[in-house]
Amino acid sequence: MTDTHRKKQIRFIINPISGVYSKKIVERLIKRHIQTDIIAYEIVYSMYPGHATELSSEAASEKFDAVVAVGGDGTINEVARALKNTDTALGIIPAGSGNGLARGLNIPLRKAAAVRMINDFNTTKMDTATINNTFFVNIAGIGFDAEVAKLFEIVSKRGFWPYFNIIFRKFFNFKPHTFTLVVNGKREVRKCMMISFANASQFGFQTIIAPHARVDDGLIDVCRLSMLPWYKVPGLLLRIYTKGADKSPYIDIEKAASLEVYAHDKVPAHIDGDPAAPAKKFTVKVFRKNLKIIVPEL
């Protein structure tokens, strides 16, 4: 049999605790919609933090054609970090709470449609990035969004309304930080509620913080949110949810290939929605088109 007729070898990694959707239902949808005449597949479950990375690294070393992350941005992060700089593609079946990267890449949120997209195996290359040498693929951030990520991690209910409730409650007792930024060789000092480092456009739930971010331009969109009065929050949220964040007078966005941010005190951070260690200095770097990924056909 020639290589052109060889079945694609794909490993599906399901995170059993991400999002609100039954993963057994996802498993049944995979079995129902995957085309077994062109794809040989296996389904495994991640059992502890970092397990998805181990399973993905193993698949890449065994020359699997793709590893499909079934979960949210945290699961995608674990899988993608093992696949960067390899010929094994990342696939995504959105099964998290916000599904930020999937939404940003126009991957179908309906599970059956996402499985059928895997059958098509249309691939491209996307950028990845690091913050303080820790890998991320969608968005990392410091300040307010990191506080929200920390609180969202521990709530008993997932979904949009618990997420929105945390944002609303946290806003009224959050104190902005003073940062020194070095972006594109320019140094500035400013007080911000948060700074987001966006490889793709949104956190999830259609919270589009960087409407012009591209995952293949070799650049990070640096989004600075200034403090604003409470009565301006509805207008700001309206802009964010309608792809107009860059038009807000309280948000400045600048593209950069690398940057450094310094704070007077340790500031909370998040990486692809998961809380990360607070720090006083943050260095962000972009790695251009080093991750193969399955995306919808245009």
Backbone angles phi, psi at 295, to 5 degrees: -130, 165
Q: Which of 121, 144, 160 is the last residue of a domain?
A: 121
Looking at the structure, do residues 284 and 147 belong to the same domain, yes or no? yes
Find residue 92's DSSP bridge partners. 69
In this prediction, residue 2 carries a pLDDT of 39
Looking at the structure, do residues 148 and 263 belong to the same domain, yes or no? yes
Tally of domains in the chain: 2
CATH number for the domain harbouring residue 159: 2.60.200.40
- The DSSP 8-state label assigned to residue 140 in this structure reads E
Residue linked to tokens 């991750």: 291
Looking at the structure, do residues 104 and 24 belong to the same domain, yes or no? yes
In a domain, 273, yes or no: yes
In this prediction, residue 1 carries a pLDDT of 35
Please choose, from the candidates 179, 85, 99, 100, the residue with its C-alpha nearest in 3D space to the C-alpha of residue 130: 85
78 torsion bin: left (phi>0), alpha (psi -120 to 50), beta (else):
alpha
CATH number for the domain harbouring residue 67: 3.40.50.10330
Looking at the structure, do residues 117 and 202 belong to the same domain, yes or no? no
In this prediction, residue 209 carries a pLDDT of 95
Neighbour count for residue 171 (Cβ, 10 Å): 16
In a domain, 127, yes or no: no
Radius of gyration of the chain (CA): 19
CA distance 131 to 141: 9
Looking at the structure, do residues 284 and 139 belong to the same domain, yes or no? yes
pLDDT in tens, the chain (298 residues): 335 578 999 999 999 876 555 678 899 999 999 999 999 999 999 999 999 999 999 999 999 999 999 999 999 999 999 999 999 999 999 998 889 999 999 999 999 999 999 999 999 999 999 999 999 999 999 998 888 777 666 565 666 667 677 777 777 778 889 999 999 989 999 999 999 999 999 988 889 999 999 999 999 999 999 999 888 988 998 999 999 999 999 999 999 998 999 998 999 999 998 889 999 999 999 999 999 999 998 6
Please choose, from the candidates 127, 84, 77, 130, the residue with its C-alpha nearest in 3D space to the C-alpha of residue 284: 130
Q: Between β-strands 177-183 and 134-136, what pairing exists: parallel, antiparallel or unpaired?
A: unpaired
What range does the domain containing 61 cover? 3-121
